[in-house]
Amino acid sequence: MCIREKMSIKIMIKLNSNHKGTLKCPGMGEIKCVGNYNEHYPKNEFTIHPQDRNTMFPQYRSRTYECGVEGVGCLMEYSIKLDGTHGIFIHAWINLEGQSHGCIHLLRNDAKKLFNIIKNHKRVRVQIYK
């Protein structure tokens, strides 16, 4: 279930033990995602603030993981920071195979649409279920 409020929106992510899951958001319905079932995501609903300049990144490179070129972090398009302490984002990825290192991966078109939906909200409530 997705809930709309005045300047707030709620994203609900559900992951199963195979790391596959769904993300629900107003304006998108239910889309497929991949995460890491073993990651210690927050247990309670938490809030992010898209208007904070350190939350939304159309183009972002991982500071932890390289993708084929030494010293160059993996490109994480349409990144939405969920947890700055642990570097956990929702972002575009090339496929929905396997598991992530902790981020929530979406296909590029889904990540772009989600990014554009939430960028104008004052706050986004996020709940991750397992």
Domains of the chain: 8-129 (2.40.440.10)
Average pLDDT over residues 11-22: 96
Predicted pLDDT at 34: 97
Query: Of 95 and 71, which is predicted with more confidence?
Result: 95
Write out the two tokens for 32. 């497929």
| Residue 7, φ and ψ in degrees, nearest 5 | -120, 30
The whole-number average pLDDT for the span 103-123 is 94
Nearest alpha carbon to residue 67 among 88, 93, 90, 43? 93
Query: Which pTM was predicted?
Result: 0.89
Dihedral sign (CA 72, 83, 57, 95): positive
Percentage above 90 pLDDT, the chain: 62
Q: Does residue 3 have a pLDDT over 70?
A: no
